[in-house]
Amino acid sequence: MSKKAIPIVEGLFTWPSDNPRLIGSKCPVCGSIQFPKSITCNNPECDHSKPPEEYLLSTEGILYSFTIHHYSLRGPLSFHQGPYAVGAVQLPEGIIVVGRLTETDEKKLKIGMRVRLKIDKLYEDEEYIYLTYFFEPASGGEESG
Amino acid sequence: MAESAVVSVALTEWVKAGEPTPLMIDRLVEVAVKALQEAKLRPADLDAIICNTSAIPFDSPSYITTSAQHFAHRLAEKIGVNGVQAINVSAACASGAIALAVADSMIKSGTAKRVLVAGVDNSPKGFYLAAQSVLDHDLAATVVKAVGVTNPAYWAMWARRRAYEMGKDIEDIEELMAIVKAIHSEYGALNPYARYKKVFTVEEVLNSPVVCSPLHLYMICATSSGAGACVVADMDTAQRITDKPVKIAASVVGSMVYGEPMPRLRSYATGGKSAKTPFTEWRRVIEKAYKFAGISAEDVDIIECHDTSTFHTINWIDQIMGWEREETDRLIRNGEIRHTGRLPVNLSGGTSSFGEAVMCQAQIMIHEIFRQLRGEAGPRQAKKKLNIGVVTAYGAYGSYGCIILEKGW
């Protein structure tokens, strides 16, 4: 029997899904977008008269910055084994989301490049495959919703 | 409105994190008594005690230090007071600066005349990870678990973005950060309270392992155990205590600014509908402080800025001076941040040389500016004439403190 694939943290992205999306929230009053979803709007100009609603974020964005994390984490988070890549991605909504990058070759990463969401394996143990959200290079002209 | 001034400062020698002795409360008492003695005050003279500390035991795993745990009250009990106002401040790396800002506000509003500010911490080793109890219940705290993004990873992304915006290669900021480390280490070697006395060359820094590109190991501060304190008084009292009171011209506390595009420490996402200029959050507290002090960047003679990485030093100079970033690069490359230079920066050696004791590291900076303005910094003493010094601190989740100190005599 194959292992079940589950999100490393619940509530960050839609799963299971053929077209997974990051789960954010949008304020019905001012339109402010947040990730992860929040119970209150964070726009200081908003009157906060209605709570934010769940909003699925765009799947493509622009790489704002990145780093290659060469060290590994310890203890309960030792599944983060370096080197791995972390990036900040600006989405069309305006917000910048921090996430893993699939590409770990520093030379192949450039600020300003297009990237798109990909849900992929972070690690597995005897019971489960743990998934997290990544951004992968989106060159090649493929279109995304 | 009353004027306030720092009348005494004290530090302990900073040591390796996790050293079991002396106990944190004992170290806090030691440094508090030292500051009181320099001010020639007794505990009975105090109106308030403000502590910036954490209470994470030295054998704790690497949990984020956010708990202030009643140290002000425990200190009051230890040294003996008559019902002072006891306040605990918890704002990560900015805690010491914010504790001083609270003291300043109390004096300026007239609710206190003599305030002891004291901090101690014993920071955990390695990357700071959220505690399991937080991880499981607070979605926003899970970013390290889901993404593996540690504090140095954020700093590295900030540094890369700055290089990109300036149209520079990554090697350029890498070298600049190494130069900062090399210069800071020269002053750590001259500071009896600093933990690290080794002087590094730029090559040694660049040859140290890459932690998060472009950040190398020696560009990131170690974690330490340390303590610091100061006594703040209203100006009339201050002038009776010392002939060299160091006036608090401004003390400003800041936090997140909506629209700031640079991901702040330990956050999943930032921004807002309209992204502002990067590091607006950092700049905001400084601008407010200048306004309160009635000064501008040109009036700043000396800087002590919080440097958990050497990128912080670079960015603080950008923000404090508000000039073209090229100017900062030139200043550093020309060695003008040394004690002989036109804008000395971190002559204490910085956390680069002390290691961070998270909750109280701003005390290093307050101590240094106090000594520098009074001409008491020994071999680290700036050669130029000093009138105004700036202290800036940045802590996790976007906690900021900016203190402007001025010769009060």
DSSP B163-186: HHHTT--HHHHHHHHHHHHHHHHH
Does residue B135 lie within any of the structural domains? no
For chain B, the domain total comes to: 2
Query: Based on the domain organization, do B269 and B363 belong to the same domain?
Result: yes
Mean pLDDT check: name the lowest of A61-65, B129-133, B352-356, B372-376: B129-133
Is B403 in contact with B389 (CB distance < 8 Å)? no
Residue B144's contacts (CB-CB under 8 Å, 6 or more residues apart) are A73, A77, B127, B129, B130, B150, B266
Query: Based on the domain organization, do B106 and B187 belong to the same domain?
Result: no
Judging contacts by C-beta atoms under 8 Å, the chain A residues touching residue B163 are: none
Q: Which of A31, A64, A132 sits opposite B273 (nearest CB)?
A: A31
Query: Based on the domain organization, do B304 and B233 belong to the same domain?
Result: no
DSSP string, B298-311: GG--EEEE--SBHH
Residue B136: per-residue pLDDT: 61
CATH of the domain at B85: 3.40.47.10
Residue A137: per-residue pLDDT: 97
pLDDT of B52 over the 90 cut: no
Report A:27-56 residues touching B (Cβ under 8 A). 30-36, 42-45
For A4-12+58-137, CATH number? 2.40.50
Return the HEC string of B21-39. CCCHHHHHHHHHHHHHHHC
Judging contacts by C-beta atoms under 8 Å, the chain B residues touching residue A31 are: 273
**pTM to 2 decimals?**
0.94
User: Residue B56 — very low, low, confident or very high, per pLDDT cuts 50/70/90?
Assistant: low
Q: What is the ipTM of this complex?
A: 0.95
Does residue B110 lie within any of the structural domains? yes
Query: Based on the domain organization, do B214 and B155 belong to the same domain?
Result: yes
CB-based contact A73 B148, cutoff 8 Å: yes
Alpha carbons B337 and B409: distance in angstroms, whole number: 26
Residue B69: per-residue pLDDT: 61
Query: Based on the domain organization, do B96 and B206 belong to the same domain?
Result: no
Is B239 in contact with B24 (CB distance < 8 Å)? no
- Backbone Cα Rg of chain A: 16
Residue B128: per-residue pLDDT: 67
Residue written as token pair 């972390």 = A86
More confident site: B82 or B332:
B332
CB-based contact B209 A70, cutoff 8 Å: yes
Domain boundary pick from B194, B211, B244 = B244
Q: Please state, as a whole number, how many other Cβ atoms lie within 10 Å of the Cβ of residue B88.
A: 21
Query: Based on the domain organization, do B347 and B211 belong to the same domain?
Result: yes
The CA-atom distances, in angstroms, between B179 and each of A56, A68, A99, B188 are 44, 22, 30, 14
pLDDT of B63 over the 60 cut: no
Find the domain containing B386 and state its range: 150-220+247-407
Query: Based on the domain organization, do B110 and B163 belong to the same domain?
Result: no
pLDDT of B138 over the 80 cut: no
Does residue B155 lie within any of the structural domains? yes
pLDDT of B383 over the 50 cut: yes
Judging contacts by C-beta atoms under 8 Å, the chain B residues touching residue A8 are: 145-146
Q: How many residues does chain A have?
A: 145
Residue B298: per-residue pLDDT: 98
User: Residue A145 — very low, low, confident or very high, per pLDDT cuts 50/70/90?
Assistant: very low
User: Residue B55 — very low, low, confident or very high, per pLDDT cuts 50/70/90?
Assistant: low
Mean pLDDT check: name the lowest of A38-42, A57-61, A140-144, B275-279: A140-144
Q: What is the mean pLDDT of chain B?
A: 91
More confident site: B352 or B66:
B352
Judging contacts by C-beta atoms under 8 Å, the chain A residues touching residue B214 are: 67
Instruction: Please name the amino acid found at residue A93.
Output: E
Query: Based on the domain organization, do B58 and B114 belong to the same domain?
Result: yes
Domain boundary pick from B244, B278, B311 = B244
Residue B61: per-residue pLDDT: 45
Domain boundary pick from B210, B244, B278 = B244
Mean pLDDT of B278-305: 96
User: Residue B21 — very low, low, confident or very high, per pLDDT cuts 50/70/90?
Assistant: low
Is B307 in contact with B346 (CB distance < 8 Å)? yes
Query: Based on the domain organization, do B14 and B69 belong to the same domain?
Result: yes
Mean pLDDT check: name the lowest of B50-59, B105-114, B121-130: B50-59
A58-93 pLDDT, tens digit each: 999 999 999 999 999 988 889 999 999 999 999 999
Q: What percent of chain B has pLDDT over 70?
A: 91
Chains A–B, number of C-beta pairs less than 8 Å apart: 138
Mean pLDDT of B398-403: 92
pLDDT of B216 over the 70 cut: yes
pLDDT of B312 over the 50 cut: yes
Domain assignments of chain A as residue spans, ordered by start: 4-12+58-137, 23-56
In chain A, whose CA is at the least distance from the CA of B145?
Answer: A77
Q: Which of A68, A74, A93 sits opposite B126 (nearest CB)?
A: A74
- Backbone Cα Rg of chain B: 20
